[in-house]
Structure 1
Amino acid sequence: MGALALVLAAVCGELVFRFLRLPRITGYSLAGLVAGPSLLGWIGADVGVGGMRLLIDLSLALLLFELGVRVNLRWFRHNPMILASSVAEAALAFVAVFLVVTLLGYQLEIALVVATVSMTTSPAVVMRVAGELRARGQVTDRLLVMTALNVVYAVIVANLVLGYIHRSYGGDWLAALLHPLYQLGGSALVALLLAKVFHVLRRHFDPQQEQASLLLFALLMLTMALLQTLKLPALLAPLLAGILVKHADPRPHLWPRHFGSVGGVLVILLFVMTGAALTWQHLFAGGFVALALIAVRSGGKLLGVLAFGRWSGITLRQSLALGLALSPLSGVAFVLTADIGRLYPALNAELGGIVLSMIAILELLGPVIVQQSLAWAGESRPQGNPEGGEKHDA
């Protein structure tokens, strides 16, 4: 039945793109909702565990490594206000969501986790829509960089929150201190190793040859296996590795041509599986709360970008477009929530109801918001092909 769900997703994506002029991934998410346990039941609700979770992690590793290669740290030295804007929008989203969840009467641990997840912006949505539109310009470049930074912020804060939860539930201060250090330090070391091996491979293989794609794919699979063995987060190491690769060699990187096809299939799988994770029970339990949180989260991100937009060198129109384009929420939020829920099942029901409802809504609306924002900023060229083989020169 999983194969049928994949076919349904491909058809839905193409129909949505051709006839409604909406991003294909909106169709993929819709197919996941239809194929999931709430309707057809082709995919079970337990996508956060087992082999399906491995596919989700691998899909995100591919996307995050590619996203990291687009982040040029030297840009922050030349224009530090971009970094200030990024910190502001993430922090305001965190604070706004935390306050609303707390005011609604949820326990502190729930408020902290939901606020942390709300800092993220979906790399899959942003990269896929920008690729479909062949978007280029200040808004697109900043959107990609801020998306990457949001993942870094969220993973760091999530580990600090986990340390606090360890202390709350277990009373062990040592575990509360050592757990974040191990998770973040271990991820940084694995990222350094991945970046070093990638540099060696890049010197000996033409990125446009098929074997280079296979080697990079195998390297990411080995990295995921290592992270799983060491019980390290799957999100941070691939992203940091990509950033290190770009920092060591700031020239435009040519992404392997054959990797686009593999990446395209994995992106479809990612959206189908995260869409299938939502049940009607989740939506009824957290739907209205999710709508309120989406509103304050979007407001926080927009306000943070507007506060530093002019100082960072973009117009009011560009600032508005960038702030709105940071709205999508998807796979990264799903993985963070699933990991915390697995460690602390007592939190899982309430977390799932709120976060999965937010993801479901923004998986459908987020791609459209990004599409319209980039078009409004004048940076879209919608005849492009979203697949691989392009230079990354952010």
Structure 2
Amino acid sequence: MAGFDPKLAALVVWPALLWLAWWLAERAHPRGVPRVSVYVAVGLVGSAIGLTPGSVAEGGGAALLAQFALSLVLFELGCRIHLGWFRHNPWVLLTGVAQSVAIFAAVAWALGAVGVAAEWRPLVAAVAVAASPASLLRVANDLRAAGQVTERVLHLAAIQAVMAVLFVKGVSGYWHLSAQGDWMQAALSSVYAVGLSVALGVALAVMVTALVRGPFGTSTAPTVGYALALVWLTVVSDALRLSPLLAALSFGVLLRERRVFVANAQRDFGTLGLLLGVFLFVYVGSRMSWGALTQGAVWAAAAVVLAARVLIPVVFNAALAVPSGTTVRKGVLTGVALLPMSAMTLLLLERSIALGLPPATEALWHLTAALLWLELLGPWVSQWALVAAREAVLAPSGPDRGGASASPPQ
């Protein structure tokens, strides 16, 4: 409409879009449709009609809120990571690291075969390593899934998240060094960012250990406390040009190790987490570039990424299943369930653009079709794998009822 302020339009329409995403997801979920896929689909519609929020590079408040929403997810994932399991069963850690390296190498090589420029290939390959912790946790929680496959999927997703951040920071440091000869900027983009991100998460965990003590009368109190701590962690990490996602994961992992995360905190951060989850996936869908989807190079890159993310996790988890203490069938299902890729990949690239890494813009363009398919279809595949593993307490088409706590890793 002529003369209508576009910022006011966004303020009016975006809450309605979020409400529509929630309403459609609640109607579709009883029919077996993953809520995550509905949220992304609504975001895609928003993108098609021009309702695209500001990105990290543009300093958009929506992008910072998306980083906070993903930080909540990674914190919760960190609180489920059992480092002692890696010490007793190093095959799981080996599987996660090996398949991450293999995905990076395979995508980087295959992108060259389909004609992607050498300047963009390393960064596309780096972010292609990341699974989608947000999608996997949401699907697992919606199904009340618990068991060996579920725990392996979540632990491997955490490993791949860390490896993706390390690869991205490594590529960033290498680019600054090779393109500009700037040793200082290369160090700040890689070693500094990784080391201080982990240190910040660890320091916050130590402080929270001393200050947040139970018992609490309600589950609301500890939930609010952890959420506010993560608000601080996200804002400070962003201001210091660190990785809020790596800091949040480190925060959660150390709290788990120090046995401070109180049992009566709300799952998914309660209503706050569910609300931010809707926003996060609608945001992801809204950041899609429809113009990129008309380019053959984008679809060629999507085919490469999809093939690597389907085949490599399945092969590695099946090959190392017996040494790691599970069956080949469960190893295959674990690899299949790791397919989703979305929010973390998008935010890693937008963060790289904001930090002044030129290849990140082209990398995001090349990954548009891959993000579209892996976020729309990935949750369906993960849901099928967890149901096939007989670890879903709720059938995908069943009504929500009492939850089940996750079983310990085996």
TM bucket normalised to smaller: over 0.9
**Structure 1 contact 207–255 (Cα < 8 Å) conserved:** no
1:249 match: 259
2:187 match: 177
The 2-side partners of 1:386 and 1:190 are apart by 38
Give 2:199's aligned amino acid.
Answer: L
What is the aligned-residue RMSD (CA, Å)?
2.4
1:100 pairs with 2:125: no
The 2-side partners of 1:55 and 1:178 are apart by 25
Deviation at 1:353, TM superposition (A): 2.0
1:330 pairs with 2:342: yes
Identify the range of structure 1 (121-130 vs 308-317) with the bigger mean alpha-carbon deviation.
308-317
The correspondence of residues 9-20 of structure 1 with structure 2, limited to 5 A, is 9-19=21-31
Identify the range of structure 1 (286-295 vs 372-381) with the bigger mean alpha-carbon deviation.
286-295
Identify the range of structure 1 (76-85 vs 296-305) with the bigger mean alpha-carbon deviation.
296-305
Match of 2:39 among 28, 37, 44: 28
Deviation at 1:107, TM superposition (A): 2.9
Q: Taking structure 1 as reference, are residues 232 and 386 closer, same or farther at Cα in structure 2, changes over 3 Å only?
A: farther
**Structure 1 contact 251–393 (Cα < 8 Å) conserved:** no
Give 1:24's aligned amino acid.
Answer: R
The 1-side partners of 2:136 and 2:142 are apart by 10
The 2-side partners of 1:142 and 1:251 are apart by 21
1:128 match: 138
1:362 match: 374
The 2-side partners of 1:221 and 1:252 are apart by 19
Deviation digits for residues 78-115 of structure 1 (CA, Å, limit 9, x no counterpart) = 11111111112212111111111122232333111111
The 2-side partners of 1:97 and 1:303 are apart by 16
Q: Taking structure 1 as reference, are residues 116 and 81 closer, same or farther at Cα in structure 2, changes over 3 Å only?
A: same
Match of 2:204 among 194, 209, 219: 194
1:42 match: 51
Give 2:68's aligned amino acid.
Answer: L
Give 1:108's aligned amino acid.
Answer: A
**Structure 1 contact 62–220 (Cα < 8 Å) conserved:** yes
Give 1:34's aligned amino acid.
Answer: V
1:347 match: 359
TM-score of the superposition, structure 2-length normalised? Answer: 0.89
Unaligned runs of 5+ in 1: none
Q: Taking structure 1 as reference, are residues 358 and 196 closer, same or farther at Cα in structure 2, changes over 3 Å only?
A: same
The 2-side partners of 1:66 and 1:384 are apart by 24
1:281 pairs with 2:262: no
Deviation at 1:178, TM superposition (A): 4.3
1:164 match: 174
1:232 pairs with 2:242: yes
1:217 match: 227
**Secondary structure, in 3 states, of the residue corresponding to 2:216?**
coil
**Secondary structure, in 3 states, of the residue corresponding to 1:235?**
helix
**Structure 1 contact 252–392 (Cα < 8 Å) conserved:** no
Deviation digits for residues 204-236 of structure 1 (CA, Å, limit 9, x no counterpart) = 562844232222211111111211221111110
Q: Taking structure 1 as reference, are residues 345 and 182 closer, same or farther at Cα in structure 2, changes over 3 Å only?
A: closer
**Structure 1 contact 256–388 (Cα < 8 Å) conserved:** no
Give 2:52's aligned amino acid.
Answer: I
The 1-side partners of 2:268 and 2:381 are apart by 29
Q: Taking structure 1 as reference, are residues 59 and 225 closer, same or farther at Cα in structure 2, changes over 3 Å only?
A: same
Match of 1:141 among 142, 151, 167: 151
The 2-side partners of 1:135 and 1:389 are apart by 8
The 2-side partners of 1:32 and 1:207 are apart by 38
The 1-side partners of 2:401 and 2:34 are apart by 11
Q: Taking structure 1 as reference, are residues 194 and 126 closer, same or farther at Cα in structure 2, changes over 3 Å only?
A: same
**Structure 1 contact 45–279 (Cα < 8 Å) conserved:** no
2:313 match: 301
Unaligned runs of 5+ in 2: 1-12
2:273 match: 263
Deviation digits for residues 289-317 of structure 1 (CA, Å, limit 9, x no counterpart) = 21232112321222221221111111111
TM-score of the superposition, structure 1-length normalised? Answer: 0.92
1:311 pairs with 2:323: yes
The 1-side partners of 2:104 and 2:388 are apart by 27
The 2-side partners of 1:4 and 1:222 are apart by 28
The 2-side partners of 1:47 and 1:5 are apart by 21
**Secondary structure, in 3 states, of the residue corresponding to 1:108?**
coil
The 1-side partners of 2:140 and 2:365 are apart by 30
Identity %: 32
**Secondary structure, in 3 states, of the residue corresponding to 2:320?**
helix
Count matched residues.
Answer: 391
